[in-house]
Structure 1
Amino acid sequence: MKNSINLILLCFTTALAVAQEIPVGVELIDSSRLEYVQCMSDQGEVLFRDGDEPILEFKTLEQARFIYKLNSSLPVEKQKINKETPVLLSFEARTSESSEETGEAKVLVQLRQSDSFKDNLDRTLNLGSTWKTYYIPFETTQKVPADDLGVSLQYGFAPQAFQMKNISFQVFDKDINIADLPQTEITYTGMAPDAEWRETANKRIERLRQSDFNITVLKDGKPTKNAQIEVELVKHAFPFGAAMQGDDILDNPEQYELFKNAFNLTVLANDLKIKRWSNKSKRKKTLKVIDKLRDDNITVKGHVLMWPGFQYNSDEVKANKDNPEKVKELVRKHMWSILDATEGKISHWDVVNEAYTNRDFQNLMGGEEFLYEAFKIARNKAPRSTRFVNEYGIISKGGIDTQKQQWYYDYIKRVDENEPGAIQGIGIQSHMGTDLTPPERVLEILSYYATLGKPISISEFTMDETDPVVREQYTRDFMIAAFSHPNVAEFMFWGFQEDGRGKVDIYEKDGSIGEMGKAYFSLVHDAWKTRASMNLGKKDVLEGRGFHGLYSYKVMVDGKESTGYFEVKNQKDNDIEIEL
């Protein structure tokens, strides 16, 4: 990352909120094997220091391309664990070397539940320079076979070193509530109620997302006095959305109604991916879903035309993984087919997804040219659809992965150099763990990508942090920061109803409003929703200022009511005439 980007790091407070008696569980750490803990990469090392309190020191000698490349497994006794079982990892730790301005080292703690990374639970910590005790409770989300159970540390960040001692991993009976276990208190820079960044951001929102309007009520072409006018924003011009599954849109009307009450934009999470589209029997239903969404005035985003990792492609593509020309042929045919079938129905596309970590196509074909071609195909076959690139790990992880941030910036430039104007928008996924990126750092990163001169999509917002207060407040703060940035053109949650994964809870399973939903509705349906009511009296014009979007109005003159709609657009003046 260039020098103009200053790092503002997440701050973790490690004191317990209140003194409490810690329950005793079954200890699974085999302390006799701590001396054999190793780093699984020559970019790092682990040192063991014996004594009354044996100490492990984990060193990052060189920042890895991927954080997980530097990892160490703790010696855990193998034991099967049932679903919804509370466990507690605790240790004392301190930073001995750091590359960060805070002087802290970082470590991602991961509870392994299966051989799939998607099932693992993790938490990222900043470690202070003095010995402190850290508590990390988890609750298993599935049955964990004995052979799969594990606890690992990932530390492939900038060069650093940290020490750990008194490591414990306990399993508890299911009658122990995870809330009864101690945990490291999480804070982030900028969460104070009077934080200056928030006041400044709200002023930007008022300036950028609102415009003046003047309403004149006419009767027989002449202004009418003594009119009672009520106006209310009913649909934001700014796209707020969430991912949905096509099957739920058609087959789960209660859930779809919840969605429509909250959002004006959706992305089909899986229906337009090559794996699903290659099943021709399902295409008709997918197209029916798109038509229904359009009938309901829901903007539809397409995801995704090309995902350059074989695991995300059809069986036929994977079967030809050693034949670059055949892979090109199959992927081209897929893009041509889906773009033809959806022409004019998809507002914008994620053209290429996650090219940083998924490099199978690039490795097979000796470069990125086929990725560039995807944008060319999208431009030629669907010229009315805006073309986005999409990537994760840019804003998340505390916002300090400057290596990936720089790669993404340079990659966008390379695509544009090879296919001028091919990328029209920048997708930043924003899957937030517990390492919550400070809002000011979020704004810095957004401003960095804004120098590329393209709109930015917050394309897949989720959060792993489970503390209800932090979950609600950070969602609110992140949305304020994003909405206040002039280049941010949409905000998309990756899901909207709690599904057991703990990623998004605009609504809980029972349809009640979740913690993230409290933040969302307090902004989009309250603080950012314009309402006005006025009796004109002797005035000819109702003067106001409101958020951009579609408004309903109700006018009462001489006991007669007239209703309708008008728009407040992003322009200096909106002169609106209502003819009775």
Structure 2
Amino acid sequence: MHPRLFRNLLAMGLACICLPVLPKAHSDVSMRWLPEELDLPRPALVLISGAAPEFFQAGGSAGAKVLQAEAMPFEEAVRVKVPHPTDPVWGATLTSPRSETPIATGDVLLGSFWIRGCAETESGSGQVTAYLQRPEPSWHGLQNLAINQGAHWQRRFFRAVADRDFDAGTVNLVFHLGSLAQTVDIGGLMVWNLGPGIDPASLPSTRIDYAPMHLDPAWLARMQERIDRHRMGEVRLTVRNAAGEPLADAAVQVELVRHAFGFGTFIEGPSPVLESGLDAERFRETVLRYFNRVTSAVYPADWGWQSEATRAAYLAALKWATEHGLDIRAHTVIWPSWQWSPSAWRPLADDPPALQSQVLAQIEEVLAALKPFRIDQVDLVNEPRVNNDFETILGRDAIAEWFAAAAEIHSGPVLAVNEYGILSAGAILTANHDHYAGFVQDLLDRGAPLGAIGFQCHLDENPSPPGQVEAVLDRFATLGLPLQITELTLKTTDEQYQADYLRDFLTVVFAHPAVASITFWGFWEGRIWLEDSALWRRDWSPKPAAEVLDHLLTEEWTTRLSLRTGEDGTARFRGFHGRYRIAVGEDQDAIAFERNLAPPGTEWILELD
């Protein structure tokens, strides 16, 4: 086929690709793009060459064309236009040529491409998911990437280790583009096979262009002022002797031992907190060192709450957390779609009263089972925007009834709703914001005892600007309920970016008066949903992000002071809200007290026997 004819077909989304044999010139270019800093024990082999954009295939609703790339290492790129979002997201795709050479188990693969784009959103950021995979059943995957591309070219690297053999022509890279109406440009795509025995961590990785806000003195000063105003209070303490007289020049040590603000983590069930071994012990130590609350999850599906073994593991994790004085967020009672619910409910789609009865019975059963534990929050409804099967059948009044029933069964915990796509993806998906705010307000208008608004916050390499995060929090604060960061992850291979952005994100959230808690969706690479979001590596060595968390929680956002009372027996200090341990006296003769510091401030009377 003549290249021009192929391009015309490609632009119409009609091209049907064969396995091309690329000209030698393209192979030469492929090797020139191999990063110079690599010190390889053997020559790299070109696995997939995207040097010739005309050999890409657009699929579904995507239309593609070739364009000239100026001032780039490649002369041409492929532009894909997605006119509207698709459901599923692979309703619009771009597919690379297939692999030119075989892959053996243990081979280390290195890939890279340049990408830019714009979307019909306020910020213009796009969203792409890419999969290095076998492009036919069983769709065996080698690597996947979540990409949030901006308007300027950026080179993206990825690495993979083959877990099986692949023949030549059986692997490609496919981009799923249908999450947004967007235009995406991709150029210089290459995948090399470096052979076995290479440490993937030694290979190039993507560096995210992010200017840390905490390096801006004006921004940091404003955040610190807000933290001081909203998270700290004044204490006037008085030390009295056994006769009730003020004790002058008394040595007083004060230490914050439990923040009033919630810092939490996910502990799954079955959870490492219940396991034996060094990793499990380290996991428990880390939970208790940094966090005052946990989230344990069980889902209403057949394999979740309906499974006796799964339910038992979940309740065992709640018991461990309760015994260790941790507050607990129970996640989740109702995930209102067929996918996440008991299969026995599916035949009730045409019988709304029967379906509502089953949902209410589930709420009663779960809430009753939670009563023995230290549950202070319950995710009653999860992801209502997309998981709306039940709302479509039952209506919004039925959801309000769920909350009323839960509050009647167990009046202790705050009942929350939880949603994704609010503070992630640049925090600019205004349609998501509008739906969620409207959903919450509508429930409140119907009298539902909704007590908190949850934001999942699965973040990635498209940083949501801290100012935009603050603006979205401001908007939801007008609803008058506490805001909670419920499932925080920051998935990236750029560890410095992870540390820089995490510090900024935690700072802007902690500084916001409407936010009550921040919960990480795991922290250790050995047991986490998204490995690249871990703070500690599998061997427990800390990433820079873990060092940021340690610094904030043990040095910057804590209170640890040595004081002396004045002639009137008093001393004053300003500290973070929370539970304090106080020691009056010298060394082993010191007398211990515990007191709370709550807003706006307090007075402590410390009487020595």
Q: TM-score, normalised by structure 1?
A: 0.84
**Aligned 8 A contact 1:273 1:305 in 2:** no
Computing the radius of gyration from Cα coordinates, the structure with the larger value is 2
Counterpart CA distance in 1 for 2:333 and 2:555 is 36
Q: Displacement, 1:567?
A: 1.2
Q: Does residue 190 of structure 2 align to residue 168 of structure 1? A: yes
- Name which of 592, 606, 609 aligns with 1:563: 592
Q: Displacement, 1:290?
A: 2.4
1:347 partner SS: strand
**Aligned 8 A contact 1:39 1:71 in 2:** yes
Q: Does residue 557 of structure 2 align to residue 528 of structure 1? A: yes
Residues 171, 447 of structure 1: alpha-carbon distance in 2 compared, 3 angstrom cutoff: farther
Q: Displacement, 1:483?
A: 0.3
Residues 574, 149 of structure 1: alpha-carbon distance in 2 compared, 3 angstrom cutoff: farther
Match of 1:57 in 2: 79
Counterpart CA distance in 1 for 2:107 and 2:599 is 49
Match of 1:205 in 2: 227
Match of 1:75 in 2: 97
Q: Displacement, 1:119?
A: 8.7
Match of 1:420 in 2: 447
- Name which of 245, 251, 255 aligns with 2:275: 251
**Aligned 8 A contact 1:274 1:334 in 2:** no
Counterpart CA distance in 2 for 1:120 and 1:370 is 42
Q: Does residue 238 of structure 2 align to residue 216 of structure 1? A: yes
Instruction: Show the 5 A alignment for 1:283-298.
Output: 283-284=311-312, 286-298=314-326
Counterpart CA distance in 2 for 1:84 and 1:376 is 57
Q: Does residue 138 of structure 2 align to residue 111 of structure 1? A: no
Counterpart CA distance in 2 for 1:119 and 1:450 is 42
1:310 partner SS: coil
Residues 323, 113 of structure 1: alpha-carbon distance in 2 compared, 3 angstrom cutoff: farther
- Name which of 165, 172, 185 aligns with 2:207: 185
Q: Displacement, 1:239?
A: 1.1
Counterpart CA distance in 2 for 1:118 and 1:422 is 44
Match of 1:353 in 2: 382
Match of 1:38 in 2: 58
Match of 2:46 in 1: 26
- Greater shift, 550-559 or 304-313, is seen at 550-559
Q: Displacement, 1:234?
A: 0.9
Aligned amino acid, residue 128 of structure 1: A
- Name which of 245, 248, 253 aligns with 1:230: 253
Match of 1:490 in 2: 517
- Name which of 445, 451, 464 aligns with 1:437: 464
Counterpart CA distance in 2 for 1:182 and 1:511 is 22
Q: Does residue 157 of structure 2 align to residue 136 of structure 1? A: yes
Residues 75, 285 of structure 1: alpha-carbon distance in 2 compared, 3 angstrom cutoff: closer
- Greater shift, 428-437 or 156-165, is seen at 156-165
Percent identity at matched positions? 23
Structure 1 unaligned regions, length at least 5: 1-15
Q: Displacement, 1:324?
A: 5.0
2:58 partner SS: coil
Aligned amino acid, residue 579 of structure 2: L
1:187 partner SS: coil
2:99 partner SS: coil
Residues 512, 35 of structure 1: alpha-carbon distance in 2 compared, 3 angstrom cutoff: closer
Counterpart CA distance in 1 for 2:170 and 2:603 is 62
Q: How many residues align?
A: 555
Q: Deviations over 1:442-492 (max 9, x none)?
A: 111111111211111100001111222112222211111110001111110
Q: Displacement, 1:366?
A: 6.2
Aligned amino acid, residue 494 of structure 1: W
Counterpart CA distance in 2 for 1:148 and 1:325 is 51
Aligned amino acid, residue 403 of structure 1: A
Residues 559, 402 of structure 1: alpha-carbon distance in 2 compared, 3 angstrom cutoff: closer
Residues 382, 142 of structure 1: alpha-carbon distance in 2 compared, 3 angstrom cutoff: farther
Aligned amino acid, residue 73 of structure 1: T
Counterpart CA distance in 2 for 1:557 and 1:53 is 75
Match of 1:9 in 2: none
- Name which of 361, 367, 370 aligns with 1:333: 361
Residues 375, 73 of structure 1: alpha-carbon distance in 2 compared, 3 angstrom cutoff: farther
Counterpart CA distance in 2 for 1:116 and 1:480 is 41
**Aligned 8 A contact 1:72 1:152 in 2:** yes
Counterpart CA distance in 2 for 1:319 and 1:520 is 48
Aligned amino acid, residue 381 of structure 1: I
Residues 61, 218 of structure 1: alpha-carbon distance in 2 compared, 3 angstrom cutoff: same
- Greater shift, 215-224 or 68-77, is seen at 68-77
Residues 118, 173 of structure 1: alpha-carbon distance in 2 compared, 3 angstrom cutoff: closer
Counterpart CA distance in 1 for 2:491 and 2:395 is 35
